[in-house]
Structure formats: C-alpha cells, structure tokens
Amino acid sequence: MSRIELEHIDKYYGDNHVLRDINLTIEDGEFMTLLGPSGCGKTTTLRVISGLEAPQEGIMKMDDHVVINANEEFYEEPSKRGLNLVFQSYALWPHMTVFENVAFGLRIKKFSRKEIEEKVMTALKTMRIEEYRGRYPNELSGGQQQRVAIARAIATNPKLLLLDEPLSNLDARLRIDMRAELKRMHQETGTTIIYVTHDQVEAMTMSTRIALFKEGEIAQIATPLEIYTNPVDLVAADFIGNPRINFIDATAIYENDTLKVKSDLGNYEFGKDTMKEGEEWPVGTEFACVLGVRPENVDIVEQDPGVPFTVECSIYASQPAGSETIVALTAGKAEFLAIQKSIADYAINQKVWVVLNPEKMNVFNKDSGRLIKLAALKTSNK
C-alpha cells in the first residue's frame, strides 16, 4: 500500500517561493504525472516527496503515517519512506554488469544470494532485458541503460516509484517504446508511480491522473481525457495538445440560462447544464470570451453540406504529414488549424467549408482566462 497525501506544502529557496500551498492526494496504485513547463515546481514537489528537499510549511503522509510535519520540523529520512527514485541521468555503475547494477540495492539490504537472483531476474524480465545481464553499461544503448535503471528501482519492490524526466535523453522512437514498457510495468506490478515530465504526450498516454503545474501551484488535477477535453484555463489549454488548440476571439452574453456566443466561426447557444460550476461571469451583460476548438474537431468539406454549424473558409496553407494533413484556414479575422486524418492537398486561397460540433467546444472568459463552458467528454453524432 502506498497512498500519498500532501497538505499545504510550501517551499522557498531564499525569497523565491517555488511551491505554493500544494495539496495533492495520490491513491495507492496510481500513475500520477506531475506535468508542466520548466521551473513550475514539479521536480521540487518530487524531491519533497522523496525526502531530498524539506519544505518550510505543510504535512506529508504515506498511508496515514506522517513523514513530514514542517511545523514541528519533522522530516523522515528518505531511506525510511519505502521508495525508489529514477533520475534523468541513468546513474549506472560503469564497472558493474547489468545484473550487478540491478542487484546493488538488494545487496545493501542484505538479501540472500537466492533472493537476489530471483528479484533481479524478475526485474530484468519485466523490463525485457534479461539477455543483457552480463553486459556493462557502455555496451548498451541509451534505451537499454534506461531500462536497467528502472529495473534497479523496481527490484526491491518499492511501495512508491518516483521518475524524474526518465525518457528525456532518448530519441523519439525509443521514447515511444519506453512509454509502452512503463505503462505495462505499472499494470503488472501495481506500484504507485509519480512521474515528472514536461512532455504532454508522455503524461497523456501513461497516467491515470495528471497534476498540471503552473508557477509553483497546481492548476488542475484530472484524468488525461478530462484535462485534455476541459483544461481549467487558457494557459492550460494552450499547453495541452499538439497541434495546439485554436483560440477564437468572441463575445458572449448569459441570459435566460443560456450562454450566447458570437464569433467569426459562427454563433452558438449553450445551455446552463454545460456551464462549469463555481465560475462567475457577467449576467445580462456582453463580455469578451474565447472559443476553444481542437484541430481534430474541425471537419473540412469542399462543398457546402447545408448542415448547421457550417462556416465558409479559405485555405491559408496545407501541410501533408503522412497519415494526416494539417491545414491552416481563415474565416473573417479568425485563423485556425484543422487536422485531416488522411492525405489531402488543398490549394492556397481555395474556398472550403468547415463543419463544427458545439458540444466539443470550450468557452473561456477572456479577462480571467478561466473555463466557463465545458466540452462534452462523450458527444452525440452530428
């Protein structure tokens, strides 16, 4: 069992307030990713959990056992927290074989020779590198070395596995392979994993939940689907998604339990049931807002289909990319992208139509940046 609770964690480096009232609960067996740009506080949070950093304020519990109480200056040492940490650098002993590297922690813990053999081989098989047990690190590729580092971390059956940007040194193809291995390993072992990355694809493909960091604070905690479909604000929406979400300037008025939006991509009405609870905006007064439309939710057709929510547009540029085509379009003053899941070729300035689905749109208050209209996680066929 390994349930982690962070309560009101604050961390300073001198006058620099790097963690601001961090509250986060990680359930036993979760794959929680701390996601955000450089300098947002995600790695510092991981180091606080591991015991490598001591916060000035707050409490941390592991399975209801207090390991940090900053007010009482109590900080349980890392070796007693039942965790292992894998860094961006592999930190393998160059003079030891793969087997010896993975066995190192087990020998420190005084396991018997038979237990060491069993646990090392189990870890190597989990990471699919048992055939490299006799090789040295300099005889391995970067991806193989990373697998050894992870095998070493899981060999002792830690309650908690902390991974700090472990794939950032790998090329694109190896990152894809290692994402699959990490996800499979998590499902097989059931170990609680806390994973730090700035790579949204890693976060989206592996996590059970994501904690999105912004300037030392947690902006949003949600499942990958929820955080992608309904990012909490314009900054989060802009960070999540590749190609990035389309932002369309618009105006809105909320009256008679209906949000009425006007934009260069058409006029829309959204019912009260689609509004985000807890957010406030002017009632009965027009205000500036931003429509959020994901590129994959923009369907291009070359003839007017005569259906609702169709907008006449002009092709600005077409970028075939193998299995898909990224298309830049304009409509009035709005410029936006569409993704076509096929090879397509459009002429510059060609007239086309796009069909949109209002259920899949977000609306943000332009002044506050906050999400006010939710996109449906599941939509009807339109």
> String of b and e for 121-138 (b: at least 16 CB within 10 Å)?
bbbbebbebbebbeebbe
The confidence score (pLDDT) of residue 76 equals 95
Query: Parallel, antiparallel, or unpaired: how do β-strands 258-263 and 334-340 relate?
Result: unpaired
pLDDT exceeds cutoff 50 at 369 = yes
Cβ atoms 337, 315 nearer than 8 A: no
In the block, tokens 């009482």 appear at 72
The confidence score (pLDDT) of residue 380 equals 56
Cβ atoms 49, 4 nearer than 8 A: yes
pLDDT exceeds cutoff 90 at 167 = no
CATH of domain 4-234: 3.40.50.300
**What would the 3-class secondary structure string for 59-119 be?**
EEEECCEEEEEHHHCEECCHHHCCEEEECCCCCCCCCCCHHHHHHHHHHHCCCCHHHHHHH
* Entry pTM: 0.89
Dihedral Cα 161, 166, 167, 168, nearest 10 deg: 150
pLDDT tens column, 258-292: 999 999 999 999 999 999 998 888 889 999 999 99
pLDDT tens column, 288-344: 999 999 999 999 999 999 999 999 999 999 998 888 999 999 999 999 999 998 888
Percent helix / strand / coil, the chain, rounded to 5: 25, 35, 35
Average pLDDT of every residue of the chain: 92
Confidence class of residue 158 from pLDDT cuts 50, 70 and 90?
A: confident
pLDDT tens column, 200-223: 999 999 999 999 999 999 999 999
Domain ranges of the chain: 4-234, 238-373
278: Cβ–Cβ under 8 A, 6 or more apart, which residues?
none
Query: ∠ CA 253-254-256 to the nearest 5 degrees?
Result: 130
Provide the token pair at 59.
Answer: 């409490």
Q: Which of 292, 283, 261 is nearest to 371 (CA)?
A: 292
The confidence score (pLDDT) of residue 382 equals 46
CATH of domain 238-373: 2.40.50.140
Which residues sit opposite 197 in a β-bridge? 35
Confidence class of residue 1 from pLDDT cuts 50, 70 and 90?
A: low
pLDDT tens column, 109-139: 889 999 999 999 998 988 889 999 999 999 9
